[in-house]
Structure 1
Amino acid sequence: MWDKPQLLLWLANLLTALAVLLLFYSLLFLAVHSPLFPVKSIKVDGNLEHITRQQLQYVVKNELKGTFFTLNLDKTRQAFEKLPWVRKVEVRRRWPDRLEVNIEEHRAIARWGTVGLLNQYGERFDAASNDVLPVLEGPEGTEKEVVDGYLALNAALQPLGKKATHLWLSERRAWRIQLDKQLIVEVGRDNARERVQRFVAAYPHSLARLQQPFEYVDLRYPNGFAVRLPDFRPASGPASAPAARPPVKPVVPRASV
């Protein structure tokens, strides 16, 4: 080997190249981890209504570790996403020393029973809210289906000027809604939105003309709907046993439902 100058020259060049690469890597490592490149500013964007400045400062102080180059963006994003009301976070570096954080908050449109809140995408999240919100209930895992149904049925009710304050979806996928915390409307399983739309169209010619209050409407009829009148009393006649509960009076409106 020692009597082969070409081989020795090649080996010397290889060792020199390795030494240069090692030196370059060392300098790069020191530069990346050097305190000369700290994150000097953090810009937070987003329409924030529930997340406080104190919460953001806590994350910055306790969760963000590293320099401009070594800061783990995924861990930073996850740290912000731990905050209540945070739905999604995007984190970007901006040379030479700035971090940009864009936060999207949940927008609560309803409560999921007593265990959480729901946003417009049917996603359940845990947060505290004093807002007056409708209550939605359904089988576990049907949050999106229930939110979609709520939005559709609420849109169908809009011409009446009434809103669903409570909505249920049963295990059999039958819908029931409560309007303005007073009237229970039994919608049923099939063609729920169409049934509500026909009910809304018929309402001015039927229920709106009743001279007494009503508390329950059943839309599960092919050619009409039934109404429960708590103050209804049948015409006098032969004595009979009293009814166990207020009767249900069938109604066939001018516009068939």
Structure 2
Amino acid sequence: MNRVLLLRFGGSVELRRGATRRGAAARATHARSRWMVPALFAVLLLAAGQLGWKALQEVANVPIKQVSVNGDFRFLDKARVEEIMLPHLGTGYFMVDLPRIRDELRALPLVHEVTVRRAWPDRLLVFITEQVPVLRFGEQGYLNPYGEVFEPGAPLADTGLPLVDGPPGSGKLLLGRFDEFTEMLEPTGLRIRSLLLDGKHAWRMELSNGCVVLLGRRDVPNKARMLASLLSGEWAGEHERISRIDMRYSNGVAVVWEGTPGRSGNAGVAAATGRP
């Protein structure tokens, strides 16, 4: 601004030789008009800037008076959410630390995702997506619908969820296999009580009738289809009598019947004679 005024001022006061007094006065008036308009404009800009800055400071200092927390909560401790949010009440509208709030809420055991945003003039809107357990995982963990493992810190009451377990990083595989086998077994009327993947990548399943099924490591989906076919066909009326089914053999299936130790049945499939 000063630089502009100086340039205009420097060209407005010099009088040339041979000019009349009237002409000089006219030129002086014209010169003044040339720099006064930009000068006035610059002053107005400065004043507007100062007023805008003052208004911005006032807005920034408007305290947060209301926090709205939204979400469907079944297990989440609402008191912990309140503990995190209360200190931010009274903080200036633009001074509130949104990333910090997100990080603190995401650190809660049962929180899956968090969105925090300001709402004019004095509100915070918080949207929390709670972890949804679909399967138990190991001794203390759970799987969410994305196959991600989370630990709530304490067992969740009355979930009645089946159990899965496996090596670290196997959550998505376990969830996929569980859904796949559940669909295959639907015609049998039996449900999966537990599905385990051991360190050697061998699969073991327990059904709702108490029967233990050993699927082994190879060709597991086809073995599961064969199992479903047998349980819905030849063995449809024998569910409560079947104690154990070993499908790890390449040439058949070994079955242990309840109350008949050592008995094996084939139901159209050759009983295994060799090692799995």
Secondary structure of the corresponding residue to residue 264 of structure 2:
strand
Amino acid corresponding to residue 200 of structure 2 in structure 1: R
2:129 counterpart of 1:104: yes
Find the aligned partners of 1:163 and 1:63 in 2 and give their Cα distance.
48
2:119–2:125: 8 Å Cα contact kept in structure 1?
yes
2:182 counterpart of 1:182: no
Q: Deviations over 1:84-125 (max 9, x none)?
A: 321111112222222211111111112211132211211111
Identity of paired residues, percent? 27
Find the aligned partners of 2:266 and 2:148 in 1 and give their Cα distance.
39
Find the aligned partners of 1:163 and 1:20 in 2 and give their Cα distance.
76
Specify which of 174, 177, 192 is matched with residue 220 of structure 2: 192
Q: Deviations over 1:182-224 (max 9, x none)?
A: 1101122234233222221222432234498221112234564
**Alignment coverage as a number of residue pairs:** 234
2:153 counterpart of 1:125: no
2:66–2:89: 8 Å Cα contact kept in structure 1?
no
Find the aligned partners of 2:115 and 2:201 in 1 and give their Cα distance.
37
- Which residue in 2 is equivalent to 1:45? 70
Unaligned runs of 5+ in 2: 1-5, 11-38, 270-276
Bigger fraction of residues in helix: 2
Secondary structure of the corresponding residue to residue 164 of structure 2:
strand
Specify which of 54, 60, 68 is matched with residue 27 of structure 1: 54
2:187 counterpart of 1:159: yes
Q: How does 1:108-257 map to 2 (within 5 A)?
A: 108-127=133-152, 128=154, 129-130=156-157, 131-180=159-208, 182-210=210-238, 213-222=241-250, 224-232=252-260, 246-247=261-262, 249-253=264-268
Range with bigger deviation, 112-121 or 187-196 = 187-196
Greater relative CO, 1 or 2 (CA 8 Å, sep 6+): 1
Find the aligned partners of 1:211 and 1:153 in 2 and give their Cα distance.
17
Q: CA RMSD in A?
A: 3.2
1:32–1:70: 8 Å Cα contact kept in structure 2?
no
2:181–2:224: 8 Å Cα contact kept in structure 1?
yes
Unaligned runs of 5+ in 1: 233-245
Distance 1:113 1:89, change over 3 A: same
Specify which of 84, 90, 106 is matched with residue 59 of structure 1: 84
Amino acid corresponding to residue 81 of structure 2 in structure 1: L
2:230–2:236: 8 Å Cα contact kept in structure 1?
no
Find the aligned partners of 2:129 and 2:75 in 1 and give their Cα distance.
11
TM-score (norm 1): 0.76
2:67–2:89: 8 Å Cα contact kept in structure 1?
no
2:99 counterpart of 1:84: no
Structure with bigger gyration radius? 2
TM-score (norm 2): 0.71
